[in-house]
Amino acid sequence: MALDLNKKDVLLGQSVAEQVKNIDDNFTTLFDNEDDLQTQVNTKEPKIDTKGTAFNKNYSTANPLMDGVASAGTADNIARGDHKHPTDTSRLAAAPDGTNTLLDSNNKVRVMYLPDTVLGQVVYKDTFNATTGAPTTLTGYTTPTKGDYFICKVAGTKNPDGTTATDGEYEVGDWAVYNGATWDKIDNTDAVRLVNGQKGNVETYKREWTSGATYYAGDIVLKDSVLYLYINATPSSEHAVTENEYFQIFGRVYSTATTTADGLMSAADKSKLNGIAEGANKTTVDEALSSTSTNPVQNKIINSALGNKVDKETGKGLSSNDYTTAEKNKLASIDDSLLGVTADDIGKVKDVTVNGTTVVNASGVAAITLPKLTVSYTSVTTSDSAWTTQTINGTTYQAIRLTKTDGIIDVYNANGQEIVVQKTFDTTYMYILVGTAKIACTIRKISLS
């Protein structure tokens, strides 16, 4: 049987499974060839059985050699058929488990003897400068190999081989891993380092303002139902909470309105208001004479006057002229504006002003229009022209610029979840700081109109 001299190549670009199978097939072919060769040797003639003949003499008593410089040799001794060679430790390094066994029990090459490139493992190369795109100590690195990885030492947008990164800017600590075609960035810098200049479990909402407490930029405090945002870069405990260079109004907290405090209208009050016709006034007139009534049109005055009347006697006039000077003076003190007033005019409003403007119409009704809440939504994409930047405490934030307003502003992400933002102001604009990166979001504005 002829020897099989064909072998399968192990090439870059093959999968690990393909490379391991080709290596395994090559070893199988090698062992099959060894068996075939031994079969051919055993069938050759003549087979020498007698010692001391020309073909079989001077058996060597020395141990067989293994390593050394190649040579034809000079000894005419021959080896016995059952001789053994020592283990060739120079050809096979010991495995991590302390053995030098190449094959496992299934005659497969053990994984620990396969190179990292076959297994697809990553290989640490060096740190690198992402600004210049150069390794720190490794020189002449221009051709990356699949599995090479570097750790960013200086932030920037360059890969370790000098090409431009496509996964965004590298931060210090990020990994750059070559996948055989392009560089992949493994982001190791997502952790929050500081919140409002503070470390640890930081709460930005500080609840009720407390005199003497230290506040930091971005802190929110509540005082007299008004939310204030601390906007100064320098922490302080010495400033009262009012609109100044340290605090700006951030929003208001409303409860249900009462007879003594402004607030939100309750559902019951709204239902009651909806049931009142426009321009209506409540006027109660007594159905019968009364001496105790407190209604706007009080007939107790009439009742009292009738109690002091002079009874008319048949055939007689008034007993005397008792119209006194005091009563004349009382009549003279009545305002002329009441002259000609009819019964229909009783109970009408004379005058009501709101913010300096009269709101009483010709019918004597005070028509007051209450402001209503207006809610509007604005979608902002990452390419919107409203984006700008604001720098606080040395950190540059992505900000949405809006016209300055007293309305309440809320921001929601693409999933409809409200996100925590910071707001800053100048004389014209309000800036909503969403973070160090732009995000698609929706702005809700609540205002009175």
Residue 428 lies in a domain: yes
In this predicted structure, the answer to whether residue 93 has a pLDDT above a threshold of 70 is no
Residue 313 lies in a domain: no
Tell me: do 77 and 142 sit in the same domain. no
Tell me: do 391 and 355 sit in the same domain. no
Task: Specify the pLDDT at position 347.
Answer: 64
Q: Between these two residues, 173 and 239, which has the higher pLDDT value?
A: 173
Q: Other CB atoms closer than 10 Å to residue 217's CB: what's the count?
A: 19
In this predicted structure, the answer to whether residue 301 has a pLDDT above a threshold of 70 is no
Tokens for 373, please give them. 């809440």
pLDDT band at residue 349 under the 50/70/90 scheme? low
In this predicted structure, the answer to whether residue 357 has a pLDDT above a threshold of 60 is yes
- Residues 290 and 307: their CA atoms lie apart, in Å, by 12
Q: Between these two residues, 119 and 223, which has the higher pLDDT value?
A: 223
Residue 379 lies in a domain: yes
Q: What is the CATH number of the domain that holds 220?
A: 2.10.10
- Identity of residue 378: T
Q: Evaluate whether 7 touches 32 at the Cβ level (below 8 Å).
A: no
Please say which residue of 194, 228, 252 terminates a domain: 252
In this predicted structure, the answer to whether residue 50 has a pLDDT above a threshold of 60 is no
Across 44-53, 94-103, 113-122, 225-234, least confident range: 44-53
Please say which residue of 186, 221, 239 terminates a domain: 186
The C-alpha angle 249, 390, 248, rounded to 5 degrees, equals: 10
Tell me: do 93 and 6 sit in the same domain. yes
Tokens for 24, please give them. 């395994």
Tell me: do 55 and 92 sit in the same domain. yes
What's the pTM value of the predicted model, to 2 decimals? 0.26
Across 42-51, 170-179, 282-291, 334-343, least confident range: 42-51
Tell me: do 342 and 382 sit in the same domain. no
Residue 117 lies in a domain: no
Report how far apart, in Å, the C-alpha atoms of 395 and of each of 60, 194, 240, 362, 432 are: 85, 11, 27, 62, 15
Across 139-148, 190-199, 416-425, least confident range: 190-199
Residue 433 lies in a domain: yes
Q: Between these two residues, 7 and 170, which has the higher pLDDT value?
A: 170
How many helices (DSSP H) and strands (DSSP E) are in the chain? 5, 18
Q: Between these two residues, 393 and 231, which has the higher pLDDT value?
A: 393
Please say which residue of 369, 392, 425 terminates a domain: 369
* 355 contact partners, CB below 8 Å, separation of at least 6: none
In which element (H, E) is residue 206 found?
strand 205-208
Residue 91 lies in a domain: yes
How many domains are there within the chain?
Answer: 5
Q: Between these two residues, 50 and 32, which has the higher pLDDT value?
A: 32
pLDDT band at residue 126 under the 50/70/90 scheme? very high
Tell me: do 166 and 237 sit in the same domain. no
pLDDT band at residue 197 under the 50/70/90 scheme? low
What is the torsion angle, in degrees rounded to the nearest 10, for the CA atoms of residue 111, residue 114, residue 117 and residue 118?
-70
Tell me: do 381 and 442 sit in the same domain. yes
- Residues 410 and 70: their CA atoms lie apart, in Å, by 85
- Residues 103 and 88: their CA atoms lie apart, in Å, by 15
In which element (H, E) is residue 151 found?
strand 148-154
Q: What is the mean pLDDT of the chain?
A: 77
Q: Peptide bond preceding 46: is omega within 30 degrees of 0, i.e. cis?
A: yes
Task: Specify the pLDDT at position 346.
Answer: 65
Tell me: do 218 and 236 sit in the same domain. yes
* Span 374-412, pLDDT tens digits: 888 888 898 888 899 999 888 999 998 988 876 778 889
Tell me: do 176 and 133 sit in the same domain. yes
Percent over 90 (pLDDT), the chain: 12
How many whole angstroms from its chain centre is CA 331?
78
Read off the pLDDT of each residue in 150-176 and give the average, rounded to a whole number: 92
Q: Evaluate whether 178 touches 143 at the Cβ level (below 8 Å).
A: no
In this predicted structure, the answer to whether residue 69 has a pLDDT above a threshold of 90 is no
Tell me: do 352 and 379 sit in the same domain. no
- Residues 300 and 316: their CA atoms lie apart, in Å, by 29
Task: Specify the pLDDT at position 152.
Answer: 94
Q: H helices within 67-223, ranges in order?
A: 116-119
pLDDT band at residue 193 under the 50/70/90 scheme? low
Tell me: do 126 and 150 sit in the same domain. yes
Q: Between these two residues, 56 and 130, which has the higher pLDDT value?
A: 130
Helix, strand, coil content of the chain in percent (nearest 5): 15, 25, 60
Owning domain of residue 397? 373-448
Read off the pLDDT of each residue in 66-81 and give the average, rounded to a whole number: 72
* 254 contact partners, CB below 8 Å, separation of at least 6: 225, 263, 264
Tell me: do 378 and 350 sit in the same domain. no
Residue 277 lies in a domain: no
In this predicted structure, the answer to whether residue 320 has a pLDDT above a threshold of 60 is no
Report how far apart, in Å, the C-alpha atoms of 433 and of each of 28, 387, 420, 445 are: 67, 10, 9, 16
Residue 104 lies in a domain: no
Residue pointed to by tokens 């732009």: 438
In this predicted structure, the answer to whether residue 131 has a pLDDT above a threshold of 90 is yes
